[in-house]
Amino acid sequence: MARLTHLDDQGAARMVDVGAKAETARSAVAEGRIRMSAEALEALMSGSGPKGDALAAARIAGIMAAKRTGELIPLCHPLGLESVTVEFSRESHAISVTAKASLTGKTGVEMEAMTAASVALLTLYDMGKAIDRGMVIEGVRLIEKTGGKSGIWTAPD
Amino acid sequence: MARLTHLDDQGAARMVDVGAKAETARSAVAEGRIRMSAEALEALMSGSGPKGDALAAARIAGIMAAKRTGELIPLCHPLGLESVTVEFSRESHAISVTAKASLTGKTGVEMEAMTAASVALLTLYDMGKAIDRGMVIEGVRLIEKTGGKSGIWTAPD
Amino acid sequence: MARLTHLDDQGAARMVDVGAKAETARSAVAEGRIRMSAEALEALMSGSGPKGDALAAARIAGIMAAKRTGELIPLCHPLGLESVTVEFSRESHAISVTAKASLTGKTGVEMEAMTAASVALLTLYDMGKAIDRGMVIEGVRLIEKTGGKSGIWTAPD
Amino acid sequence: MARLTHLDDQGAARMVDVGAKAETARSAVAEGRIRMSAEALEALMSGSGPKGDALAAARIAGIMAAKRTGELIPLCHPLGLESVTVEFSRESHAISVTAKASLTGKTGVEMEAMTAASVALLTLYDMGKAIDRGMVIEGVRLIEKTGGKSGIWTAPD
Amino acid sequence: MARLTHLDDQGAARMVDVGAKAETARSAVAEGRIRMSAEALEALMSGSGPKGDALAAARIAGIMAAKRTGELIPLCHPLGLESVTVEFSRESHAISVTAKASLTGKTGVEMEAMTAASVALLTLYDMGKAIDRGMVIEGVRLIEKTGGKSGIWTAPD
Amino acid sequence: MARLTHLDDQGAARMVDVGAKAETARSAVAEGRIRMSAEALEALMSGSGPKGDALAAARIAGIMAAKRTGELIPLCHPLGLESVTVEFSRESHAISVTAKASLTGKTGVEMEAMTAASVALLTLYDMGKAIDRGMVIEGVRLIEKTGGKSGIWTAPD
C-alpha cells in the first residue's frame, strides 16, 4: 500500500528532508470557484474595478496567504517565493480563481498555489456573505506543476 | 442592488464598525470535502489513529488557522474564539470535514469555521499529494450559524 | 522628570497592567503623507480606481497591519479592534493617508491608527519605488483620540 | 507614462516574478526621525542605556519587523535577510534612526530597511506618547542601496 | 483514569469550549533558569544594563512571545493579555527568569507566563551560544496562579 | 573577556551579518524533558497513538514553531529549514523530546532545534496541566550540531 511521505515508520508527522534535492525552477497553478446567487455575484463584480476594492482585496489576500503557507500547513517547508499571481474570472453563477506561484528551490510550490486560491475564495465569501450566506467553494485543485524530479504534470481533463 | 458592507460609498475596503453591536453567544459550523483516489484515501486513513498522525495534523492545522482568521482575511475582525473543533469522516471517495467555532462577541464566527475547514482540507491535500495530485476540494460552505441579530441560520437542503 | 510608563523602577521594559482600567469606547485617527515626483504620483493614481489595485493594496495593507499592531510594537496590548478605515487623498506632490481605528476596551488605539498609516505609506513606497526611489514619508502623527480617562484629545494646529 | 511594475496589464496587483534575476549581494540603508518635546526626549534618552530598555525595545522592534516585511507589505517577496542593524541618535528635538539590511538574493532589501526604520520609530512613539502625544514621524526615506542591476544608488541629499 | 480535557471522547484534539465560564481576574507566574559557564554568564551580564541590550532583548522576546501564545500552542485560546512582565536575576552559575501575565477573562494565563519564560531563556541561549554551546534550560514551571474556579494555586516547595 | 557577537561595540543588539559565510549543510539536535506525576504521564501517553492526538499535537506544535524561530528569537536569522523532526519517549516520570533540524545555509539551526523542543514541551504542559499543574520542563539543551566553520560539536554527556 502507498505510504504517506509526511509520516515516518512509526506514523509520526515530520517535515520531510529535502536537503539532497536539486534546486530547480518550479511552478504551480491552482484553480477554484465560489458559486453564489445572482445578487451576490452582481454585488461582488460591481464592487470591483472602477467601483471598488472587492476583487482587489481577495487578490491581495491570496497573494499574502501564499507567502505564509509554511505557517499554515504544518509539514510544508518555508519557501522564498519568487512570484505569485491571483486572477479572477466571472462565470454565470460563480467567480473562479486561478493562482500561480513559482520559485527556484528544492521543493514544489503546489501548496502555495492551492493556499492562494483557497484564501482568495474565502475572502470573497467574507465579502459576499451578508448577501448570500449559502455560497459554496468548489473545485479547488492543482491544474499544473513544473520542475523537480517529476517534471511537468497537468490535471487530467 | 445589494451593496457590499465591506466597501464604503466610494468602494473603498474597510473593516466594518461593530462597536455598537451587542455581545451575544455566537457559533458557526462549516463543512467541506476532499475527493481523492482509493489509494490516497486508504493511505490517509491508515496513516491515522493507531498508525499515525495524518488526520491529527490536519485537525490541528484547522484549529490553529481558525485562530488566525483575522490575519488571513483582510476585513475580518480579530476575535477571541472560545472553542474550535474539527472532525473528519470517511466517505467512499473522499474525506469530509466539519468545523465548529464559537465565541461571545459582537460579530459572527462564520469565517473562522470556514477557514478551519479549508486549511484542514489543504493539509490533507499536502499529505496526500505525493500519491494523488489530482485531489479536489469541494463543497466548502456554511452549514449553520447562531447568535447575533439574525439568529439561527441553516443551510438550505 | 517625566518617567516612561513602559519601564519599571529599574528601567526594565514591561507591558503595563491595564486590568483595572474601565472598558470604554475608544477611537484614534492618525495621518501621514508620502512625498514623491510628479511621475510617481501620476503612476500611483492611475494605477488605482478603474485602472488598478495600487491604492487598494495600500489600504488593505494598512488595515491588516492595524490588526497586528500588538505583534509589531513590543509593549502594546493585543486588542480586538472593532473598526479600521484607511483613506488616501491626492495632494500636489504627495499622497496623504488618514487611518481611523476604534474599539471598546481598556486601552487606547493610537498605535493601531499610527501603524495602519505607516504601513499604508510603506506599501505606496514599495509600489512606486521603481519610478522614484527618493519618495519620503513624513508627518505621521496622531490627529485625534477619544475615550479613556483623558477623554478627547486633538492635535494642536 | 511610467507604469507600476506591481500591477499587470489589467491593473491587477501581483508579486513580480524575480526568478530570472541574478543573486547578488544587496544592501539598503533607510533613515527617519521622530520629533518630540524636550520632556519626551529627555525621558526616552534617560530611559535607555544604564537606566533602561527604551531604545533597546525600539531597536529590537525594528530588527524583528524587518524580518517580517514580506508579511506586512503585500507585494514584497519573502527574503532571507543576512543582517539588520538599527541605530539611534539624539538630535536637538528629535531621535533619528538609521536602519541597514543586507542579503545575497534576487531582489533588493529597501523595504526591509524602510520597515525597520518605521517600526522602530512607531515603538518610540508608543513609549513616549503618555508624555507627548503630538510627536511626529518624518523624513522616513531610503538613503542608499547597493547590488542588483541598478548598482549603487544614493539619495540626492 | 484521568482524561485529557483537550481531547474529545474519540481522542481528537480540540480547543475546549470556555464560553460558559465566568470572566474573572486571572494571573500566573512562571519561572525558569539557564545554567551556563562563568564566561558566558559574565558576558551576558556585562552585555546588559549600561553596556548593552542582552537582557533587554530576552525580556522583550519573552513579552512578545506571551502575546503570541495562542499561535504557538495548538489548543490554547487566543487571549487579550492585560499585563506581562519578565524579570531576570543572576545566580551563581545561571540566569533565572520570572514571568508574570494577567488578564480579565474566561480562561487562565498559565501558558502565557510559561511561554514568556521559555522564549526569554531561549533568547539568552541564542545570545550566549557562541561562548557556551552547552548551556541548559531547566526548572521551567508554574509558581502561582490566581483567578478562575480553582482560585489561588501555589507550587509546592 | 568574551564578548557577545549579537551586540556591537556600543552594546546595541544587531542581527549579525552572515553574508560572507559559506553555504554548508548544517544540522542540530536538541533535547529536553517534562517531569510529571504518574497520573499525568499515564493520561498523556494514553491520549496518544490509538487513543488520541496528545503527542501528535505536541509534535506538530514543535515542528511549526521551528519554522517560526526567526519571528520569536529577536536576533535569529530567518531560515529556510529543509527538515524538522520531533520525537518523544516515555521515561519513568517524564516524557522526553528530541528535535532535529537541518538546512543548507550560511548559519546554523541550533535555535530551530531548541525552539522545537521547547514548544513541544510547552504543548505537553498545556495538555497535562489540568491533571498536574506542577509539571517541570528541564534539561533543554543542544546535543549535537554539524556543519559550518566549527564542524561537528557534541554535548559533553
In this complex, the chains that touch A, judged by 3 or more CB pairs closer than 8 A, are B, C, D, F
Beta-carbon contacts of A105 under 8 Å, excluding residues fewer than 6 positions away, are A23, A24, A26, A79, A80, F80
Output the pLDDT for position C51. 64
Task: State how beta strands C94-105 and C24-35 pair.
Answer: antiparallel
C-alpha cell of residue B78: 480579530
Residue contact F14–D81, C-beta within 8 A? no
Residue contact D63–F13, C-beta within 8 A? yes
pLDDT of B50 > 70? The answer is: no
Mean pLDDT is highest, among C1-10, C148-157, D35-44, for: D35-44
Residue with cell 535607555: D48
Mean residue pLDDT across chain E: 94
- The crossing angle, in degrees rounded to 10, of helices E110-128 and F110-128 is 160
Output the pLDDT for position A49. 63
Smallest Cα distance from C68 to chain E, Å:
11
Cα D50 to Cα A100, A153, B151, E47, E86, distances in angstroms = 52, 62, 58, 11, 18
Output the pLDDT for position C150. 85
Query: Phi/psi class of residue D155: alpha, beta or left (left: φ > 0; alpha: ψ in -120 to 50)?
Result: beta
Smallest Cα distance from A124 to chain C, Å:
14
Output the pLDDT for position E157. 74
C-alpha cell of residue D11: 491593473
Q: What percent of chain B has pLDDT over 70?
A: 97
Query: Phi/psi class of residue D141: alpha, beta or left (left: φ > 0; alpha: ψ in -120 to 50)?
Result: beta
Q: What is the pLDDT of residues D74-125, one digit of tens each?
A: 999 999 999 999 999 999 999 999 999 999 999 999 999 999 999 999 999 9
Task: Judge whether D8 counts as a catalytic residue.
Answer: no
E119 vs E98: CA distance, rounded Å: 12
> B32-52: string of b/e by CB count within 10 Å (b at 16+)?
bbbbbbeebbebbbbbbbebb
Considering only CB atoms, C80 lies closest to which of B13, B71, B80, namely: B80
Contacts of F55 in chain E (CB under 8 A): none
In this complex, the chains that touch D, judged by 3 or more CB pairs closer than 8 A, are A, C, E, F
> F133-155: string of b/e by CB count within 10 Å (b at 16+)?
bebbbbbbbbbbbbbbeeeebee
Beta-carbon contacts of E97 under 8 Å, excluding residues fewer than 6 positions away, are E31, E32, E33, E34, E58, E62, E86, E87, E88, E117, E120, E121
Q: Which amino acid does the sequence have at F75?
A: L
ipTM of this model?
Answer: 0.97
Q: Which amino acid does the sequence have at C75?
A: L
Beta strands in chain A (DSSP E): 24-35, 83-90, 94-105, 136-146, 153-154
What average pLDDT does the segment B53-75 reach?
97
Mean residue pLDDT across chain F: 94
H or E stretch covering A67: helix A54-67
Beta strands in B56-135 (DSSP E): 83-90, 94-105
Considering only CB atoms, A1 lies closest to which of B1, B43, B74, namely: B43
C-alpha cell of residue F144: 549535537
Q: What is the pLDDT of residues B78-130, one digit of tens each?
A: 999 999 999 999 999 999 999 999 999 999 999 999 999 999 999 999 999 99
Q: What is the pLDDT of residues E106-128, one digit of tens each?
A: 999 999 999 999 999 999 999 99
Considering only CB atoms, C15 lies closest to which of E68, E84, E104, namely: E84
Considering only CB atoms, F82 lies closest to which of A8, A18, A70, namely: A18
Q: For residue D12, which of E37, F107, C11, A99 has the smallest C-alpha distance?
A: A99
Would you call F51 helix, strand, or coil by DSSP? helix
Q: Which amino acid does the sequence have at A144?
A: E
Distance of CA F80 to the CA centre of its chain: 16
Q: What is the pLDDT of residues A46-82, one digit of tens each?
A: 887 666 789 999 999 999 999 999 999 999 999 999 9
Q: What is the pTM of this model?
A: 0.97
Contacts of B82 in chain E (CB under 8 A): 17-19, 77, 106
Q: Dihedral through CA D69, CA D75, CA D80, CA D85, nearest 10?
A: -30
Cα E121 to Cα A17, A79, B110, D141, F120, distances in angstroms = 28, 28, 39, 36, 15
Q: For residue D133, which of C68, C98, C85, C28 has the smallest C-alpha distance?
A: C28
Contacts of C80 in chain B (CB under 8 A): 77-80, 105
Q: What is the pLDDT of residues E63-93, one digit of tens each?
A: 999 999 999 999 999 999 999 999 999 999 9
C-alpha cell of residue D50: 544604564
Residue contact F129–E145, C-beta within 8 A? no
Q: For residue A101, which of B74, B72, D11, D15 has the smallest C-alpha distance?
A: D15
Q: Measured on CA atoms in the order A29, A35, A39, A40, is the torsion positive or negative?
A: negative
What average pLDDT does the segment F117-125 reach?
98
Candidate list D9, D17, D126, D157, residue with the active-site label: D126
Q: What angle do CA B10, C87, A56 make, to 5 degrees?
A: 65
Smallest Cα distance from D87 to chain E, Å:
13
- Is residue D76 part of an annotated ligand binding site? yes
Q: Name the DSSP class of F50.
A: G
Contacts of A66 in chain D (CB under 8 A): 15
Residues 101-120 of E with CB under 8 A from F: 110-111, 114-115, 118-119
- Rg of chain F's alpha carbons, rounded to an integer? 17
